[in-house]
Amino acid sequence: MITNLGFGAILITFLISLYGAGAAAYGASKKAQEWIESARLAMLLTFPLLTLSALALIYLLVNGHYEVAFVTSVTSNSMPLYLRVTALWGGQAGSLVFWSWLMSAFASAVTLRRWDRDREFLPWVIVVSLVTLAFFLALVIFFENPFERYWQTPSGVVAAMFQPASSTLLVPPDGNGLNPLLRHPGMTLHPPMLYLGFVGFVIPYAFAIAALVTGRTDDRWIRLTRRWTLIAWLFLSLGLILGGRWAYDVLGWGGYWAWDPVEIAAFMPWLTGTAFLHSVMIQEKRGMLKHWNMALIILTYCLVIFGTFLTRSGVLSSVHSFAQSAIGPMFFGFIGITFIISLALLLRRWDELKSGVEMTSLLSREALFLLNNLLFLGIMVVCFWGVIFPLISELVTGQKVTVGPPFYERATGPLFAGLLLLMGVAPLAAWRHSTAKTLGRAMWKPGLFSIAVLLALVAAGVRSAAALLGFWLTAFVTSVTVYEFWRGALARHRRSGESLPVALARLSARNRRRYGGYIIHLGVVLMAVGIIGIELFQTETQGTIGQGESITLGEYTMTYDDLAIFDTDDGRNVARSVVSVYKNGRFVSELYPRRDFYYESQQPMTIPGVRSTMEDDFYVLLVDWQPITSQGATFKVYHNPLVNWLWMGGFVFIFGTLIAAWPDKDPEVVPARAKRPVYASAEG
C-alpha cells in the first residue's frame, strides 16, 4: 500500500542517515576514505528516498484517502487540486516530512560539488547534515507520523500505522478541510520559502563545524558557503515578505506584522544571518572578526531549530503555530545538545581564531561593520526576550504573561534607526583608517540632499519627530547609495570612454556582490518608507451604517450600497458587501469586502476590500451585518499611507539579492593547509 511505501521510505532514510553520520565520523577518525565515500553515497540516497515518501503523501492527499488521519485533517472533497498538494505543509506531520525532504535536497546537493581541494571538510559536513536530518525523521517516525490510518476498534476509533487487533479500517466520506487562513495563495509559497531558508542555513553551519573540528582557521569555509548563505538568506527574506503580505490580506487587522511569536521566530535567524553576511566580508577582506563569524553562524543554526520548535511544539499561542505536541521536549533537547557541542568546539579553537590584525580606527569600515553586528544582535536579544518571557513568567508565577507590539516597537525602534544610519555611513568609510574629517568630506553631498528632503517634508506639514527622523534617514541612505553608483560609473566612464549606462552595467557585473548589496539597501529604504507610512500615519474607524449611508475617514468617504449572502460550490457561505469609495468627493473605486464561512471546518475568514495606489491603501473589512440590508452592516476601515512602498521594496530587495548571489568563478588560490594529506587535520 501507498502508506506503507511512504512510511517505509522514511524509516529506511532514518537508518541510512544514522549510518552515514557514523560512517563519516569513523572514516575521519581512522583516515579511511572508503568509509567517507560510503557516507557520501548514503547522504545522496536520502533525497530520492524522501522524494518517494513525499510523493506518496501527496498522492494520498490528492486522491482523498481519508482513512489516513493526516489527509482527513487537512483536505476535503471541495478543495481544489493545488490546495490538496500544498496541504502537505498545512499540518504538523506533513510539514515535518516536507522540512526533511528539503534538508535532504540541500545535503545531497552539497555532496555533488568537487571536494578535491577541501576533502578534510567532507566527513564533518556529512555528520552535521545527517544528524540534523535524522533528528527530524525521528520526530516523524516516533511522534508525528503522517501515514497513520483510522481503525475502528471495539473501544472506539484510533489512529495507528499498523492494524490493531480486532479492528477494521475506517474510511470517512470526507475530510475536515484546510484551515481557511491557509487557503490564501500566499500560504502556498510562504512556508516553503521559510523552510528553504531554514534548511539552507544548515549548510554554512555544517562547514563552520567542519572548520572547527579540522582546525582550518582561514576563511576557506566562508568562501565555500558564501553562495549557500546568500541563497538561504534570500529564501528566508522572501518567506518573511510573503508572510507579511498574507497577514495583510487574510488576518483582517489592517497590518502586515503583529510581532507574533512565530513571526519573530522566523525573524531572529534572519537577523543573525544578515549580521553574518555583513561580518564575513570583513574576514575575507581583512582577516578579522573570525570569532564573530563562527558565533553568528552557530547562533543562526540554533535559532533555526528554535524557530521550528516554537512553531511545532505549541508552547506559545499564535495564529501561525500548530497544535500542542509531544515533540517540544525533543526539540529543546536537540537545541541544547547542538549548542553545547558547537560552543565547546568554538572555545577549543578560540585562540587559533584570533586575528593578527588590529582595529585601529573607530570610524573605519571594519569598526562600523562591528557596530552593525551589535545592533542586529541587540534587536535579536529584544525579540528573544519577548518570545520567551511568557514561558519564564509561567514557570515563575504560574501565569503566562505576554508582551505586545508596544514593547518591541519601543525597544527596537532606535536600533533599526541606527542600522539605517550605518547603511548610509559605512559605504563612505575607508578600510583600516578613517577620520571624522575624511568621512565628513565624503558625506556632505548626500547629507545636503537628505537635509533638503527633510526641509521639504517640514514645509509640507509633517510634524512627527519620528517620521521626520525616519524619512531623513531613508533620504540619506538613498542619496549615498545612488552617489556610490554614480561615482563608480563616472570613474569607469572616464577611464574607458564607455557611456555612463554601459559603464554602470559593466561595473555592476564585475562586482555583483557589492552592487547587488547596494540594490538590497535601496530595497530596504523603500520598505522603510512603507513601514514609516503605515506605522506612524495609519488611521482607522468603525461604524454601523444602513444601506445608502456613509463612513468618512480623512479624505475618504465610503458608502454602503448592498449586501448579498450565498453558498458556493466549494463549501462556503459568503456574505459579500458592495461599497463605493470617494476621495475628496470624487468616486474612485467600488470594493467588495466579505466574510467567508467554511462549513467543513466551521471557521470564518475575513477578506478585505482594498483600493491600492502608491500613495495609500483604503482598506475595508465587513465586521457584522443584519439579514436585511436596510438594518445596517458594521464596517472597520483603515487608511494605510505608503504601504505599497513596502511591497515594492520587497521586490527590489529580492532582485538585489539575486544579483549578489549570482554565481561567478571562484578565483581564490588553494590554501597551503589544503595540500596536506587527506583527513590529516581530523586529529585537530
If one compares 571 and 581, the residue with the highest pLDDT of the two is 581
Closest CA to 566 of 576, 554, 558, 574: 574
Looking up cell 521510505 gives 9
Closest CA to 651 of 662, 659, 640: 659
Task: Determine phi and psi for 325, rounding to 5 degrees.
Answer: -145, 155
E strand or H helix that includes residue 51: helix 33-62
One-letter amino acid at 583 equals K
For residue 174, what pLDDT band results from cuts at 50, 70 and 90?
very high
d(CA 193, CA 188): 9
Q: Is the pTM of this model over 0.75?
A: yes
pLDDT tens, residue by residue, 309-358: 877 655 554 444 444 457 878 888 999 999 999 999 999 999 998 887 77
The answer to whether 64 and 71 have CB atoms below 8 angstroms apart is yes
Q: What is the DSSP letter of 680?
A: G
The answer to whether 672 and 218 have CB atoms below 8 angstroms apart is no
The answer to whether 237 and 270 have CB atoms below 8 angstroms apart is yes
If one compares 385 and 681, the residue with the highest pLDDT of the two is 385
pLDDT at 679: 36
Look at residue 653 and tell me whether its pLDDT is greater than 60: yes
Burial class (CB in 10 A: 0-12, 13-18, 19+), 599: middle
If one compares 80 and 640, the residue with the highest pLDDT of the two is 640
Helices (H), 595-683: 643-661
If one compares 517 and 673, the residue with the highest pLDDT of the two is 517
Asked whether the CA dihedral 143, 147, 150, 151 is positive or negative, the reply is negative
pLDDT at 314: 53
State the helix-helix crossing angle for 92-111 and 290-313, rounded to 10 degrees.
150
The answer to whether 230 and 377 have CB atoms below 8 angstroms apart is no
pLDDT tens, residue by residue, 4-63: 999 999 999 999 999 999 999 999 999 999 999 999 999 999 999 999 999 999 999 999
pLDDT at 316: 57
For residue 671, what pLDDT band results from cuts at 50, 70 and 90?
very low
pLDDT at 325: 58
Q: What is the DSSP letter of 664?
A: -
Question: Helix, strand or coil for residue 364?
Answer: coil
Task: Determine phi and psi for 107, rounding to 5 degrees.
Answer: -65, -40
Asked whether the CA dihedral 106, 112, 117, 120 is positive or negative, the reply is positive
pLDDT at 338: 94
Q: What is the DSSP letter of 579?
A: E
Q: Residue 624: which residues within 8 A CB-CB, separation 6 or more?
A: 544, 633, 634
Long-range contacts of 76-81 (CB under 8 A, 24+ apart): 76/174, 76/175, 76/176, 76/177, 76/178, 76/571, 76/600, 77/174, 77/175, 78/177, 78/569, 78/570, 78/571, 78/600, 79/177, 79/178, 79/570, 80/570
Look at residue 301 and tell me whether its pLDDT is greater than 70: yes
Domain ranges of the chain: 2-353+362-407, 415-537, 539-644
Average pLDDT of the chain is: 89
